[in-house]
Amino acid sequence: MYRCKDAKGASFVGQSIPPECGDGDIDVLDASGRVIRVIPGRQSLANVAAAQQAEEARKAAEQRDRTLLATYLTVADIERLRDQRLEQLEQQARVTQQYILNLKEREARLTEDVQRFKPYNSSPKAPPLPDHVAEDIVNTVNGLQVYQQELVKNTAEQERMRTEFAADIARFKELKGIK
């Protein structure tokens, strides 16, 4: 026999699993009506999965705490590492910005140069645009896009790093009882 309750709490019993059981647990009963087994429903399985995720998150947080305490002795240590890593990213950003400036200057020169060629020059004596100049323009524009995307990623990484270090500092202070 099978027994279950629907979402409203009404009980259903049958020789086969009642269709009203829906997502709830199903009790398997012996001939005397005792529960010999429970078939977990979707809700129970979801609760088990949520509990497992919560347990894994708790263990990960404990591991982070242990690592934080084992890695740093003071808040100044955390701040020093944060500042070093941010300085590296800022240096990379400065280099990338310089590449972007150089590429923009190159693009401007190329744009000016192509004015001598057809189809940019309406003069009947204007020569056609050489393939290597067209390739150079395409490569410059593509390079400019790549470096601009890298600069955006770098900025996002700096912000992410600031946020993570701020959280680490706050947690370290909490663990050490520092106000």
Residues 167 and 83 in one domain: yes
Residues 124 and 81 in one domain: yes
Partners of 4 in the beta sheet?
12, 26
Residues 23 and 108 in one domain: no
What is d(CA 69, CA 139) in angstroms, rounded to the nearest whole number? 49
User: Quick check: is 54 in a domain?
Assistant: no
User: Quick check: is 56 in a domain?
Assistant: no
User: Quick check: is 128 in a domain?
Assistant: yes
> Which domain range does residue 30 map to?
2-39
pLDDT classification of 25: cutoffs 50, 70, 90: confident
Residues 77 and 148 in one domain: yes
- Model confidence over 99-136: pLDDT tens digits? 999 999 999 999 999 999 988 888 999 999 999 999 99
* Residue tagged 């693009």 (tokens): 107
Q: How many domains does the chain have?
A: 2
- Model confidence over 73-102: pLDDT tens digits? 999 999 999 999 999 999 999 999 999 999
Q: Which two tokens stand for residue 176?
A: 């050490």
Residues 35 and 87 in one domain: no
CA nearest neighbour of 133 among 156, 116, 153, 150: 116
Residue 164 CB partners (closer than 8 Å, separation 6+): none
User: Quick check: is 83 in a domain?
Assistant: yes
Max mean pLDDT among 4-18, 26-40, 113-127, 131-145 falls in 131-145
CB 1 within 8 A of CB 29: yes
User: Quick check: is 12 in a domain?
Assistant: yes
Quick check: pTM over 0.75?
no
